[in-house]
Every structure is written in C-alpha cells, then in structure tokens.
Amino acid sequence: MENYLLDWANLLLRWLHVIAAISWIGESIYFVMLDNGLHKPKDEASIKRGVFGEMFAVHGGGFYHSQKYLTNPPFELNEDVHWSYWKSYTTWLSGFALFALLYLANASIYLVDPAKMELSGAAASAIAVGFLVGGWIVYDGLCRLISPTMNRDGLLSIAVAVMVIGVAYATSLIFQGRAAFLITGAVMATSMSANVFFWIIPGQRRMFNDIKAGRTPNPLDGKRGKQRSVHNTYFTLPVVFLMISNHYAFSYSHEYAWVIMALIIVSGALIRQFFVLMHAGKKLYALPAAGTAVIVAALFVGAPQQALEQPAVAQTAAPAVAEASAPAAGEASAPAAATAAAPAATAGVNYAQVHEVMEKRCVACHAAKPTQPGFAAAPAGLVLDQESVVRANAARINTAVKSKYMPLGNMTQMTDEERVIVDQWVSAGAK
C-alpha cells in the first residue's frame, strides 16, 4: 500500500514537473523569439515614445502588438506588470521533490554503482546534493570572475561549457549511468532556476523600483539579467535531453556515456543558436547541420560495445567458467553456470538456462508482485518470470545486462558468466 501511494506521488509530481517546465521553457522561448523578432517602430508616435522595438503577431483569434522599452517606459509601473518566476520555481521544486522521492530515498538502489564506487546510500545522496549546490556556486563564481560587467561573455560561455562537461565526467565516475545523466541535467537546471531567483528577478526588481522612484537604474542589472537568461536558453535543450534520457538505457549505461552527454550539450547549443538567429531573420543552416553531425558522432560513440568481449569468451567459455566456478563451489549457481556455458560454445544456450538466471537475479524486482522492498510493481513493466515477456524484450534485456546497468547496483550479485548466458542466448536469436 505504501509503495503504491509512493508510486502515485511519483506520477503526480512528474506530471506537475513536466507541466511547470513546459510553461517556464515555453515562456522563455517565447521571449527569446520576441526579443529577436523585434524591429524598429515606423510610426512617429512610437518613435517619440522611445519604443526600442516592436512585433506584430496573430494568435488565438486575435492580433497582438508588443512594444519593448529598455529602461524608460512611458507608462506607470504598477502591479499590472507581469513577472515571470513562479513557473521556474515550481519546476525546480517539483523536480527536486521527485529527485528526493525517487533517488535520494532509495539511494543504494538508484544512485550507487558499487562497480564504480562503494558508497553508502547516505554518502551518495550527500554527494548528489553537493553537486547541485556546488554546481551553482562554481557556475556563479565563473560568471562573477570571468565576466563581471558582461564584458567577456564569449570566454565565459566556454568556461561554463567546460564546467558542465566536467560535471558529466565526474558524475559518471561516481554514480549509476542513469543517475549521472539526471544529476548533470539537474546541475544545469538548478543553475537555471538559481539564475532567476538570485539575479534575474532581484535585478529586475531594482530596475523596477529605480524607474518608479525616478532614479536611473544601474545598467549592469539589465545586462546581467540578459547574460543569465542567455545561459538559461543554452542549458534548456541539453537539460530536457538528460531528463528524458532515463527511459533509454543504451544512452547512459555506456562506458563513454559522459562523452555522449558532452556531445549532446554541444549539439543542443548549436541548434539553439540556429533558432535564435532565425527569429532575427538570419537562417544559418550550417548550425543545425553541425548540430546533427554532432548527434551522429554521439550515435557512433554510443554504438553497442562488446562489453563482455563476446567472441573471445565464446571460444574460451568452458575453461573460463570452470575457473570461475572452482572458488565458488559452495554456491548453488556454479554448477548451473558451468553446464550452461560449456555447451554454449557449440550447441547454444536454451531458454531454461536463461529462465534460471532471471529467477535468481531479476525477479526479486521484475515480478508482478516484487519481493524486493520498495517495489510495488514490476519496474519498467517487465515481468521477467514470464517467458513471453523475456522473449519479446530479449534485445533490451541484453543491453541492460551487458552494460551491467541491470541488475540495478548489482544488488542480486549477477555473475559475468550469467551475463554471457543471456548474451549468447539473445545473440543466437533468443530461441
């Protein structure tokens, strides 16, 4: 019952999170479009009023005429002015709640990868939260240090890109692949919301109050708001990729998953640049072409690796398993693995052997009624004690097992020999 309610909480929070993110990012994309789509006003009255730029639009059965003033609007600034911040905060708060409910509350299942680093759940959680806070401190520090008066924003962008790729690399050394992708995305997303909270909104408030009181606003506030908004638009595409990638084990369970992340971050930036320029009237098709080329490069990097060096193992399967089973003679699995792998080199593995592996290593979680504490239903909907399910998902199972993504954190202590059994069965056509 408790797990069932937690699953609902998870689903509802995710719903909220996605809706809030769509509203936030949608609005920010709208304003990027508006800013770049502005043109100088033609009518005398607007020019006299000091309009910086304007745009005409038709939408939702009506016509719109937006005009932008930099710091000297000729109308009264009052409560009617629309501010944009709750969408951003809601996105972050629901995202963090989801992260806490899913990952921090089950850190030893979802964060820790003992093959990478032997961490307790509490330590892994502390490090994960440290990345979010530390990421913001370092990013904000870089902005203040390198481009304090927005004078070296080009150099700053390079430094920020290097930092984010550093996070991708570091997290993939510490955490499970899926968590590494998520945390890297969350580091960027946290900085995005923190930009809104610590700089963009306070800066706009100072400008608002100065103008209201008849003082000249500090131009740095406006420039900084712009700088941080621009960073946010660069972060957007990669963040969304990293957030949805958790359904695609091939992307994050790869040995060079951090390179895939880095390439996606670069391609996201290139594609973003195209859209920004497009609204300003320039169509630089080289940009999306380059972005696509970078994605193709990611495709090559991520191509399934022979994680277990399958051909070599197949030839030497019998002696290798014999050796492996000797010290583990007391373990019930050893003879099974030996008989399974020995004929594999010649006759192939049959389903019964795979079934045995599933029973031992997978069905604690992947059953209609899991026995593993914390699970209310078969994860990813995969009920692996059913032959039809195993057959239908053979390729997916093999990817997950070969890359050692499954069993999660190797909680059920699957052996390499068992991974070879699954691989050989699937490679031979899952017969």
Backbone angles phi, psi at 57, to 5 degrees: -145, 155
Work out whether 397 is an interface residue with ligand HEC (CB under 6 A): yes
Query: Which two three-digit tokens encode residue 60?
Result: 């939702």
Work out whether 372 is an interface residue with ligand HEC (CB under 6 A): yes
In the complex, the smallest distance separating the C-beta of residue 113 from ligand HEC, rounded to whole angstroms, is 12
Query: Which two three-digit tokens encode residue 284?
Result: 């630089």
In the complex, the smallest distance separating the C-beta of residue 410 from ligand HEC, rounded to whole angstroms, is 8
Query: Which two three-digit tokens encode residue 124?
Result: 């892994």
Contacts of residue 233, defined as CB under 8 A and 6 or more positions apart, other chains included, come to 28, 29, 32, 272, 276
Position among 406, 421, 426, 430 found at the interface with ligand HEC (CB under 6 A): 406
Query: Which two three-digit tokens encode residue 394?
Result: 């053979």
Which range touches ligand HEC (CB under 6 A), out of 33-41, 92-100, 262-270, 374-382? 374-382
Site for ligand HEC in 84-123 (CB under 6 A): 109
- Between 210 and 385, name the residue whose CB sits nearer to ligand HEC: 385
- Distance in angstroms (rounded) separating the CA atoms of residues 2 and 52: 57
- Between 326 and 380, name the residue whose CB sits nearer to ligand HEC: 380
Position among 127, 400, 426, 430 found at the interface with ligand HEC (CB under 6 A): 400
In the complex, the smallest distance separating the C-beta of residue 217 from ligand HEC, rounded to whole angstroms, is 49
Encode burial over 77-111: b for 16+ CB neighbours within 10 A, e otherwise.
eeeeeeebeebbebbbbbbbebbebbbbebbbbbb
Fill in the amino acid letter for 247. Answer: H
- Between 164 and 321, name the residue whose CB sits nearer to ligand HEC: 321
Site for ligand HEC in 158-187 (CB under 6 A): 178
- Residue count, binding to ligand HEC (CB under 6 A): 26
- Between 99 and 199, name the residue whose CB sits nearer to ligand HEC: 99
In the complex, the smallest distance separating the C-beta of residue 249 from ligand HEC, rounded to whole angstroms, is 4
Residue 410 and residue 404 in contact, taking contact as beta carbons nearer than 8 Å: yes
In the complex, the smallest distance separating the C-beta of residue 253 from ligand HEC, rounded to whole angstroms, is 9
- Distance in angstroms (rounded) separating the CA atoms of residues 260 and 164: 13
- Distance in angstroms (rounded) separating the CA atoms of residues 93 and 120: 26
Work out whether 386 is an interface residue with ligand HEC (CB under 6 A): no
The DSSP symbol for 175 reads B
Site for ligand HEC in 200-259 (CB under 6 A): 246-247, 249
Contacts of residue 140, defined as CB under 8 A and 6 or more positions apart, other chains included, come to 191, 194, 198
- Between 27 and 356, name the residue whose CB sits nearer to ligand HEC: 356
In the complex, the smallest distance separating the C-beta of residue 348 from ligand HEC, rounded to whole angstroms, is 19
- Distance in angstroms (rounded) separating the CA atoms of residues 423 and 406: 13
Fill in the amino acid letter for 272. Answer: R
Which range touches ligand HEC (CB under 6 A), out of 153-161, 197-205, 236-244, 411-419? 411-419
How many contiguous H segments (helices) and E segments (strands) does the chain have? 19, 2
Which range touches ligand HEC (CB under 6 A), out of 15-23, 276-284, 316-324, 380-388? 380-388
Position among 328, 364, 376, 389 found at the interface with ligand HEC (CB under 6 A): 364
Could you give the 3-state DSSP secondary structure of residue 128? helix
Q: Which residues bind ligand HEC (CB under 6 A)?
A: 109, 178, 246-247, 249, 361-362, 364-366, 372, 379-380, 382, 384, 393, 396-397, 400-401, 406-408, 411-412, 414
